[in-house]
Amino acid sequence: MTSPTPPCAPEDVRRVACVGAGVIGGGWVAHFLARGYDVTAWDPAPDAEPKLRRLVDAAWPALTRLGLAEGACANRLTVAATLQEAVADAQFVQESAPEKLELKRNLLRRLDAAAPAGVVIASSTSGYPMTDMQTEAADPGRLVVGHPFNPPYLIPLVEVVGGERTSAGTVAWASRFYEVAGKSVITMDREVPGFIANRLQEALWREALHMIANGEATVREIDASITEGPGLRWAFMGPMLTFALAGGEGGMAHMLDHFGPSLKSPWTRLEAPELDRKLYDAVVAGCDEAADGRTIADLVAERDRGVIDVLRATGRLPRQRTAGEAAE
Ligand SMILES: NC(=O)c1ccc[n+]([C@@H]2O[C@H](COP(=O)([O-])OP(=O)(O)OC[C@H]3O[C@@H](n4cnc5c(N)ncnc54)[C@H](O)[C@@H]3O)[C@@H](O)[C@H]2O)c1
């Protein structure tokens, strides 16, 4: 069966429903309100409404500093008494209920039954493939993962991926909607457990736990190794391009020639893939593409500016002396 098409274009959405209003659902509510949408929320917890309003109130000063969309107002939040009421006239639904597979399956079935035909329903799941969650819904074609990062009103990234029964149109519609709603979107063309960013975070997290378990590093050392080290670069340039700069003027190709053999060294418990020609070429070509016309010298200048900006913004650079003070 093909899914009915969404009743409106991503650009025309005005009303969003957020189902499950805890840390993530509440963060989504704050984000959509700040982008000027009417938001209806539903959460079965008896104290959900005051908690949600406290979360939105606490986020609002930061959102105001960031810049609100025209007409954005925290009063445009309605808390519905039932799931059906929450989604009855929604043009997009974001589900953020607890990470329990049976609960998600059942909830997505109920949301699908209650939401207007064709309206896209996205799940905030941290790791379940949509294929496993869409099993009960009458129209699985409109169900998609839209995985955010905490807090969704500040961290731009959303990973969008469909399940085996999600229609390609739903994936494209959701990606476009999130972009229009001010998010930074990665659209994946296949399901991978943990998506992209959590796999990378998880690799670091597991290695850190191994190091603590073995007495190789303390919690404090692990945190400092990132905040005083690579983390300073990752805020504005990802791990691939920053490693390309470790290859000097030779870029990623030289980096791989130089450090490729280290893949055989026991520098992590994670097994390295074989650095064959195909992987080598994919990494080098990927870096060229990501550089998007910038030379190595451009990237070095960008990195250096970025590190200084991050150090300054987080209060880790001594205040610069003025010319007058320097002369004293
Ligand atoms: N916390 C994070 O950093 C993070 C990041 C990305 C994605 N996620 C995902 O977001 C989802 C929500 O996580 P959270 O951290 O906000 O959890 P949370 O416990 O803070 O919030 C879950 C909310 O869902 C409500 N709820 C319980 N049963 C429900 C039901 N049947 N229908 C609707 N709502 C129900 C609860 O009352 C609660 O308010 C999960 O799928 C999680 O994996 C979490």
**Domain termination site, one of 187, 216, 241:** 187
* Residue 240 falls inside a structural domain: yes
**From 24, 128, 198, mutation site for ligand 1 pocket: most ligand atoms within 8 A of C-beta:** 24
d(CA 29, CA 58) in angstroms, rounded, equals 12
In this structure, the answer to whether residues 78 and 135 fall within a common structural domain is yes
Q: How many domains, the chain?
A: 2
Residue 197 forms part of a structural domain: no
Residue 25, marked binder: yes
pLDDT at residue number 3: 78
Residue 21 Cα: closest atom of ligand 1: 39
Kindly report the CA angle at 211 between 206 and 212, in degrees rounded to 5?
100
Residue list, ligand 1 pocket, CB within 6 Å = 19-25, 43-45, 48, 96-99, 103, 107, 124-126, 147-150
Considering the domain boundaries, does residue 179 fall inside one?
A: yes
CB 9 within 8 A of CB 45: no
Q: Give yes or no: residues 78 and 130 share one domain.
A: yes
| Probe residue for ligand 1, chosen from 18, 28, 40, 43 as the CB with the greatest number of ligand atoms within 8 Å | 43
Query: In percent, how much of the chain has pLDDT > 70?
Result: 97
In a domain, 216, yes or no: no
Residue 178 is predicted with a pLDDT of 98
Among 187, 211, 237, give the residue marking a domain's end: 187
- Residue 198 has a pLDDT of 94
The answer to the question of residue 210 being in a domain is: no
pLDDT > 60? residue 328: no
How far, in Å, CA of 19 to CA of 134, rounded?
Answer: 16
| Cα gap 295→143, rounded to integer Å | 41
| Same domain for 249 and 183 | no
* Cα 97 to Cα 30, 43, 108, 126, distances in angstroms: 16, 8, 10, 11
Is the predicted pLDDT of residue 326 greater than 70, yes or no?
Answer: no
The model's pTM: 0.93
Q: Which atom of ligand 1 is nearest to the CA of 123?
A: 41
DSSP labels for 4-26?
PPPSS-GGG--EEEEE--SHHHH
Q: Tell me, what's the pLDDT at 183?
A: 98
For 136-184, the pLDDT digits (tens) are: 999 999 999 999 999 999 999 999 999 999 999 999 999 999 999 999 9
Question: What is the arithmetic mean of pLDDT over 30-46?
Answer: 98
User: Does 212 count as an annotated binding residue?
Assistant: no
309 C-alpha to ligand 1 centroid (Å): 34
Reported confidence tier of residue 323, pLDDT bands at 50, 70, 90: low
CB neighbours (10 Å) of residue 321? 10
- Per-residue pLDDT at 91: 98
Given a cut of 90, whether residue 205 has pLDDT beyond it is yes
Same-domain check for residues 148 and 50: yes
Asked if 128 and 101 touch (Cβ cutoff 8 Å), the reply is yes
- Residue 146 to residue 123: CA distance in whole angstroms: 6
Atom number in ligand 1 closest to CA 125 = 41
54 within domain boundaries: yes
Q: Across the chain, what does the average pLDDT equal?
A: 95
One-letter amino acid identity for 155? I
Q: Could you tell me the CATH number of the domain that includes residue 131?
A: 3.40.50.720
Please check whether residues 180 and 292 belong to one and the same domain.
no
User: Is pLDDT at 126 greater than 60 in this prediction?
Assistant: yes
With a cut of 60, say whether residue 325 has pLDDT above it.
Answer: no
Q: Whose CA is nearest to atom 43 of ligand 1?
A: 126
CA of 124 to the centre of ligand 1 (A): 8
153 and 246 assigned to the same domain = no
Give me the residues paired with residue 77 across strands: 39
- Distance in Å, CA 55 to ligand 1 centroid: 14
Look at residue 2 and tell me if it is in a domain.
no
Domain that holds residue 290: 229-314
Classify residue 209: in a domain, yes or no. no
Closest C-alpha residue for ligand 1 atom 12: 96
